[in-house]
Amino acid sequence: MSLTGRTRLSILDKPLSKGKGEVSLSCFALLFSEVVQYCQNKSQTVPELQNRLHDLGKTVGSKLIDLYFVRERTGKREIKLLNILLFVKTSLWKTLFGKEADKLEHSNDDENTYYLMEKEPLVNRFISVPRDKSSLNCAVFIAGIIEAVLTGTGFVLFLPELSSGRYRHQDEFAV
């Protein structure tokens, strides 16, 4: 029996590749609409439905930040709030939605308050909201992702719109 000189790598020794990284828009729309229907069947009220979507977003966000930093070789940890928000606005948003977020604004009232804005969130594009649930904003799913990313990187986050029950119009999203 002769050895060829090549050793076989186990699956654990292989690098974690990025893969294609793209999902078709129709596939995403179908999957997300099913997620919304599932949450709607488990909920009695609009705030309860939004809390379920937010919690699912937090689950996705915690897994996403782990995956991102496992794949990223630099391993640099951001310690400044503005830097991590710029990371979310550019790199993370591009990973999720294929483009950067529309705006990152600093509040005039509080030095630690920032608004990340998306004019037409992808999660609201294909959702038709019935009249009895007109206050539903599925972009709370994105807010959950952002909350998990920021808390997972060591930042404290407070989302006033989620805690007070007030939500922006369905065609825009701000955290």
For residue 69, count other CB atoms closer than 10 A to its CB: 15
Q: Is 26 helix (H, G, I), strand (E, B) or coil?
A: helix
Q: How far apart are CA 121 and CA 94, in angstroms?
A: 13
Looking at residue 174, its pLDDT comes to 54
Superfamily classification of domain 26-174: Trafficking protein particle complex subunit 3 (3.30.1380.20)
Range 68-72 average pLDDT = 80
Question: Per residue in 110-158, pLDDT tens?
Answer: 888 888 999 889 998 888 888 888 888 999 999 999 999 999 988 887 7
Residues whose CB is less than 8 angstroms from the CB of residue 65 and which lie 6 or more positions away in sequence, other chains included: 148, 149, 152, 153
Domain ranges of the chain: 26-174
Confidence of residue 78 (pLDDT cuts 50, 70, 90): confident
Q: How far apart are CA 103 and CA 135, in angstroms?
A: 23
Type and span of the H or E element at 125: helix 122-125
Taking the alpha carbons at both ends of the chain, their separation in whole angstroms is 64
The pLDDT of residue 57 is above 50: yes
Q: How far apart are CA 159 and CA 175, in angstroms?
A: 7
